[in-house]
């Protein structure tokens, strides 16, 4: 596939995904449909974000043109096989960050590439290790960064990532919401 001849659609309102794709040097437009992000309870932790990414791409299929390629993604945070979603409020964000404090968790992003005649999907996993967070650090972060649009109630590229993450194993950008190195390879093969 010659990427320059494709019209790329990013099916995501996430400013972080838009930034990462732009920095990858890919020209794209942003368009997304509101879909209910629910999934069957029998899916494994790696199947969940792939299922949701494909769900976000599916509405495009009926009107895709020959030269269009849709990129969609979904990111989840797993702590000991518990999926931690986006917090609804301050109390939920506090509870999530207390759970993550001092522990390793997994960030898993599912990505779907969809054209008129082809679909491919994949996932990437990054292990993230948090130090013990104090209640003051958690409160400061939530109050100043309002992480209610982020799975796991945090953004690695924000203050809490600077002070709270000891190390990661895997793609940093995956934790931001898009495993760009793997995406680049998959787009080239597509």
Name the residues annotated as catalytic: 74
Using the Cα atoms of residue 47, residue 88, residue 155 and residue 82 in order, give the sign of their dihedral: negative
Which residues neighbour 174 within 8 Å (Cβ) at sequence distance 6 or greater?
Answer: 75, 107, 109, 124, 125, 126, 182
């Amino acid at each position: 596939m010659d990427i320059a001849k494709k019209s790329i659609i990013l099916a995501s309102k996430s400013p972080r995904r838009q930034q990462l794709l732009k920095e990858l040097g890919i020209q794209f437009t942003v368009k997304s449909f509101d879909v209910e992000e629910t999934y069957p309870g029998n899916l494994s932790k790696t199947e969940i974000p792939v299922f949701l990414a494909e769900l976000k791409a599916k509405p495009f299929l009926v009107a895709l043109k020959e030269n269009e390629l849709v990129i969609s993604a979904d990111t989840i945070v797993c702590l000991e096989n518990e999926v931690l979603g986006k917090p609804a409020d301050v109390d939920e964000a506090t509870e999530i960050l207390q759970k993550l404090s001092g522990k390793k968790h997994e960030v898993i992003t599912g990505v779907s590439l969809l054209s008129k005649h082809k679909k491919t999907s994949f996932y990437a996993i990054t292990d993230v290790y948090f130090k013990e967070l104090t209640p003051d650090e958690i409160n400061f972060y939530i109050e100043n960064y309002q992480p209610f649009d982020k799975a796991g109630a945090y953004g690695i590229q924000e203050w809490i990532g600077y002070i709270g993450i000891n190390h990661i194993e895997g793609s940093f950008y995956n934790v931001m919401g898009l495993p760009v190195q793997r995406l680049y390879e998959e787009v080239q093969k597509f």
